[in-house]
Structure formats: structure tokens, C-alpha cells
Amino acid sequence: MKNQVKILRDKMNMTQHELAEKSGLSLRTVQRIEGGSILKGFTLKTLAQALNTHPENLIVIPEEQIDIQQAKTINFSALAGLIIPYGSIILPAILTYQTKDFKSRELGKSIICIQIIISAIFSLLMIICPFIQKFLSLKFPLFIIPLILFLVLKLLIIIKNGISLNQNQDLSIKLKTNFL
């Protein structure tokens, strides 16, 4: 969280003592404000005048501390799909809708959308494979190919999104628009 009073004071090459004198406030008040005390009322207006700015420029809006730990858990829970059919949708959905954090919920929805699409394509391929195998008169069980591709794709997406969540606090593989 950046303190706007300190930033503006530094830009004007003023000391805390000089700002206190110019604003008519005590040095201790200036120190407290730069230490993180909330500005309001008379003090806000006085400091704004002394720093030649508008009062709204001094109001500090805390930078959102995004706790994406829940989003990481949701992403990791998609691995349940490797063991439980449609577990990559069910478990992340439960975790997503239990979370109170808006950012984690939106990331969770993106994760679920990707998993729904992958699972739908995989299910369709598993239905089509026996027909293709019969049509081509293959002895090799054709369903193994989409099964392996499905497992590798799912692992790659979960790992890539996990790395991206750690580094950028966002997903690297996601849809442009969520349908959830």
C-alpha cells in the first residue's frame, strides 16, 4: 500500500517537519499519516492544500491483496478427474462455490469451464472410438489413444495453470469468456 502523502511530499522535496509547518499540523500527525493512519476531514483538506493537490488524490486505496491459495487448490483438485470420472468438474465446482473470495471464484469458474470442455471432447471420442475401430477393422484398442491424450492434456493444463498462478496470479490457459 503506497502512502500518497509521502510520495507527494518527496516529489516536492519537503521534510516531514516542513510539511507540518506548511499545513499547520503537528509533526507527530504527519508522521502518523505517513505511517498509515487514515486521512479524513480537516486533516485531509489541510494536507491537500499544503501539497497543492486535491483531497481525493491523498486518499489511499489499499492494493488488493489477492490470496490465490484457494484458486491453487481448485486447480489442483482437477486432478481428481484422473481417478474419478468427471471428478475434474465436480470437486473444483464444490470448492469454487464454497469460496468467498471473488478472484478465486472467478479463477475457479475458468478452471471448471476448461475441464468441462476437455471432458466433453473426451467423452465424445470415447463414444466414437469403437465405431472407428470397427469401420477400420483395427485389432488395436483405439480408445487407448484418446485416453492417453486426455490424461496428458489434463496434466499439462493443470501444471501450466499452477505455474502461472504462482508467478502471475492468473491462469495461462483459460477461455476468453466463461459460460458459468
pLDDT confidence of residue 88: 93
Give the model's pLDDT for residue 42.
87
pLDDT in tens, 122-166: 999 999 999 999 999 998 898 899 889 988 999 999 999 999 998
Q: What is the pLDDT of residue 63?
A: 43
Tens digit of pLDDT at every position of the chain (180 positions): 457 888 888 889 999 999 999 999 999 998 988 887 877 888 888 988 998 988 887 875 544 445 688 999 999 999 998 888 899 999 999 999 998 888 888 999 999 999 999 999 999 999 999 999 999 999 889 889 988 998 899 999 999 999 999 888 889 998 888 888
| pLDDT for position 54 | 86
- Residue ranges of the domains in the chain? 4-57, 69-168
Q: What's residue 8's pLDDT? A: 87
Domain boundaries 4-57, corresponding CATH code: 1.10.260.40
Contacts of 114-120 spanning 24+ positions with Cβ under 8 A: 114/157, 114/173, 114/174, 114/175, 115/78, 115/81, 115/88, 115/89, 115/154, 116/89, 117/175, 118/88, 118/150, 118/153, 118/154, 118/157, 119/81, 119/86, 119/88, 119/89
